[in-house]
Structure 1
């Protein structure tokens, strides 16, 4: 019988908590739940990066929606695996290129804004961005200017 790696076990646990406890973001490392949030958008990712910093390295993340912005933030944080209930094609590609185990529930071409009349403003802010640290800085600028209603779904 194949034994799961710690990364796979943590990812399974994060995914289970995401679903069973109706969270939007869950971070697990070495069997310990480090962070959970039911808040939507990228704000919980920014908060956990600011809160835990390098302690995120090697952890597993489960998120309801992983677009380009979320993927860049997850790469920047140093997680080792990601489950995205909904994940964009570009997010999957970015995570794969960074050597992060990426497990999408479903793949979509892009993330819409909450009004569903255009692309997510965080995705737009990252046009042409190739560096995770630059992406983090850009997302921080956008979150400082946007209200919760202007976030992404």
Structure 2
């Protein structure tokens, strides 16, 4: 029985980290557990192995706050987040992350990240990130759709967030 569980775990790890060129870090499982148990929304595993958590919030806000306040920690880091679409990918690219793990990750995010030499892993790969009603694309994903320049995508994303918050 233990051997079967061990083989299943090895197979699951192989599926989760397909496309990942570097071996997963030991801290990755800790960061994933923090997210799964709602102790964190987003976690950076810094280049020197420290775990840095973001503030609580919805959508890309925890990751965006980490980018804006802890950019030096993001450079060379592994980003671990609940949901990673093209919007979150743009933030990670601009922050110079080296690897991104999403508990849920869109196919578009994988392509965008890999195009910028960032390795990826995910628990669940989905075609796209939907809105909360699940009847269309997430509005933040809409704001960056078709934008190939990560810096321009980030500007568009911030504008959409401001609009959704009632700003200009």
Common topology (TM > 0.5): yes
Counterpart residue number, 2:86 = 68
Instruction: Tell me: higher relative CO, structure 1 or 2? Use CA pairs within 8 A at least 6 residues apart.
Output: 1
1:15-45 CA-partner distances (Å, limit 9, x unpaired): 2332345422111212212223442201112
**Structure 2 length-normalised TM:** 0.76
Counterpart residue number, 1:81 = 99
Counterpart residue number, 1:32 = 50
Counterpart residue number, 2:28 = 11
Q: Indicate conservation of the 8 Å contact 1:64/1:85, yes or no.
A: yes
Cα offset for 1:47? 0.9
Radius of gyration: which is bigger? 2
Counterpart residue number, 1:132 = 150
SS at match of 2:34: helix
RMSD: 2.1
**Structure 1 length-normalised TM:** 0.83
Of the structure 1 ranges 67-76 and 7-16, higher mean CA displacement relative to structure 2 is found in: 7-16
SS at match of 2:123: strand
Counterpart residue number, 1:151 = none
The count of aligned residue pairs is 144
Structure 2 CA distance for aligned equivalents of residues 20 and 115 of structure 1: 24
1:106-135 CA-partner distances (Å, limit 9, x unpaired): 111111111222111111111220111111
Unaligned runs of 5+ in 1: 149-153
Cα offset for 1:100? 1.3
Structure 2 CA distance for aligned equivalents of residues 46 and 91 of structure 1: 16
Unaligned runs of 5+ in 2: 1-21
Q: Indicate conservation of the 8 Å contact 2:107/2:125, yes or no.
A: yes
Q: Structure 1 or 2: larger strand share?
A: 1
SS at match of 1:86: strand
